[in-house]
């Protein structure tokens, strides 16, 4: 199982057209330097990373030529695991490095789906919204050039039908999952230069038929103790790149003690708590060069205690 050492990050600004399209959060051409940087920043088992890239490359080499009745590739990679383990960043990075490795296909189109935009469609409209998104919008882009689509929080769209109660859930939710699966099948048959990379924090909430369509399912676990340490020091180094006085703190006992506190946290939490050291005093917020080694220890202790209290309240 993979242990990610970089957390999910917000999408960068849309560098495509500004016109609104239902369900499309972002559109850009690949390769993209900031997405390539995400791939390099995420430290997981190299074998897992290699397998993800190989599966992605295979999608664009084999699918246009094979008989789907005998080699049923759907063009779908699914990343599952707890929040904060870097699945979204990994997906974006995978999309970029795939495009970079296949320049002969020309620039790739990257689309990021906003599942909540589709899910918020009015009663009776959700099925239609899913069909419009996949059958029209995504299909149109995939006909123009090789296309990679990120389906973040895919359990929002591929709701497990076996767990639905018709007394509680409207039939529209059930039909939306039906529509998603049907469109995936149509796209798999007709648009071989298309790859979906889906992520989920709750794989148990995903419909079984969606899982069965995945060409590769990879579990991205919470980081190991050593990975937590790497995230911690990587974040401090990133601060030191801009505020050189921070570099002198790296070998202090307080920083080492703070690093030990990081175990059992996810990557996003560690980076947030390290940055919280800059908020302990106004002068440090104005100039992080005034950080002290004790600040990191205090911020990690405080952050972990607040996290523990929140879990206890639940």
Q: Which CATH number fits the domain that encloses residue 139?
A: 3.40.50.300
- Single out the residue in 182, 203, 221 at which a domain terminates: 221
Mean pLDDT to the nearest integer, 42-49: 84
Which range, of 108-122, 132-146, 194-208, averages the lowest pLDDT? 108-122
Asked if residue 107 and residue 186 are part of one domain, the reply reads yes
Asked if residue 133 and residue 111 are part of one domain, the reply reads yes
Asked if residue 140 and residue 35 are part of one domain, the reply reads yes
What single DSSP character describes residue 23? T
| pLDDT > 70? residue 141 | yes
Domain count, the chain: 2
Pairing label, strands 147-151, 2-3: unpaired
Asked if residue 183 and residue 91 are part of one domain, the reply reads yes
Residue 165 has a pLDDT of: 52
Asked if residue 47 and residue 183 are part of one domain, the reply reads yes
Task: Quick: pLDDT tens for 62-82.
Answer: 998 888 778 889 999 999 999
Residue 11 has a pLDDT of: 43
Q: Which residue has the higher pLDDT, 73 or 96?
A: 96
Q: CA triplet 305, 309, 310: central angle to 5 degrees? A: 120
Asked if residue 236 and residue 188 are part of one domain, the reply reads no
Asked if residue 183 and residue 71 are part of one domain, the reply reads yes
Asked if residue 180 and residue 116 are part of one domain, the reply reads yes
Which range, of 116-120, 188-192, 209-213, averages the lowest pLDDT? 116-120
Task: Quick: pLDDT tens for 9-24.
Answer: 444 444 545 567 889 9
| pLDDT > 80? residue 229 | yes
**Contact criterion met (CB below 8 Å) for 4 and 44:** yes
Q: Which residue has the higher pLDDT, 64 or 121?
A: 64
Asked if residue 127 and residue 240 are part of one domain, the reply reads no
Domain that holds residue 17: 2-221
What single DSSP character describes residue 20? -
Q: Which residue has the higher pLDDT, 165 or 275?
A: 275
- Single out the residue in 221, 249, 275 at which a domain terminates: 221
Asked if residue 229 and residue 216 are part of one domain, the reply reads no
Residue 147's SS3 state is strand
**Contact criterion met (CB below 8 Å) for 218 and 80:** yes
Widest CA span in the chain: 66
What single DSSP character describes residue 285? H
Asked if residue 235 and residue 115 are part of one domain, the reply reads no
Which range, of 162-171, 212-221, 250-259, averages the lowest pLDDT? 162-171
Mean pLDDT to the nearest integer, 303-308: 84
| pLDDT > 70? residue 99 | yes
Residue 307 has a pLDDT of: 78
**Contact criterion met (CB below 8 Å) for 296 and 258:** yes
- Single out the residue in 176, 200, 221 at which a domain terminates: 221
**Three-class HEC string of 77-125:** EEEECCCCCCHHHHHHHHHHHHHHHCHHHCCEEEEEECHHHHHCCCCCC
Residue 124 has a pLDDT of: 64
Asked if residue 208 and residue 239 are part of one domain, the reply reads no
What single DSSP character describes residue 206? B
Pairing label, strands 24-30, 108-113: antiparallel
Phi, psi of 79 (to 5 degrees): -110, 125
Which of 17-26, 276-285, 298-307 is modeled with the greatest confidence? 276-285
| pLDDT > 70? residue 58 | yes
């Amino acid at each position: 199982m993979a242990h990610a050492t970089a957390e999910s990050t917000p999408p960068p600004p849309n560098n495509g057209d500004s016109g609104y399209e239902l369900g499309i959060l972002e559109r850009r051409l690949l390769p993209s330097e900031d997405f390539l940087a995400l791939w390099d920043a995420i430290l997981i088992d190299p074998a897992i990373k290699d397998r993800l890239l190989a599966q992605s490359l295979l999608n664009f080499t084999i699918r246009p030529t094979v008989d789907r009745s005998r080699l049923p590739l759907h063009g779908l990679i699914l990343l599952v695991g707890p929040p904060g383990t870097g699945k979204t960043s990994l997906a974006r990075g995978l999309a970029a490095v795939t495009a970079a490795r296949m320049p002969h296909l020309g620039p790739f189109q990257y689309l990021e789906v906003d599942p909540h935009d589709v899910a918020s469609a009015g009663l009776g409209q959700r099925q239609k919204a899913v069909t419009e998104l996949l059958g029209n919008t995504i299909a149109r882009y995939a006909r123009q050039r090789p296309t990679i689509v990120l389906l973040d929080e895919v359990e929002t769209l591929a709701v497990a039908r076996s767990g639905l109660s018709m007394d509680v859930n409207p039939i529209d939710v059930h039909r939306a999952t039906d529509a998603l699966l049907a469109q995936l099948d149509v796209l798999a048959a007709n648009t071989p230069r298309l790859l979906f990379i889906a992520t989920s924090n709750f794989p148990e909430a995903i419909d079984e038929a969606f899982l069965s369509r995945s060409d590769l399912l990879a579990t991205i676990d919470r980081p190991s103790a050593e990975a937590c340490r790497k995230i911690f020091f990587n974040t401090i180094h990133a601060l030191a790149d801009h505020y050189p006085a921070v570099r002198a703190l790296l070998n202090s006992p307080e920083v080492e003690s703070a690093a030990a506190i990081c175990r059992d946290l996810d990557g996003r939490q560690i980076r947030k708590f390290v940055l919280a050291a800059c908020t302990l005093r106004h002068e440090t917020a104005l100039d992080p060069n005034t950080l002290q080694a004790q600040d990191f220890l205090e911020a990690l202790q405080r952050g972990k205690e607040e996290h523990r209290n929140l879990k206890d309240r639940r």
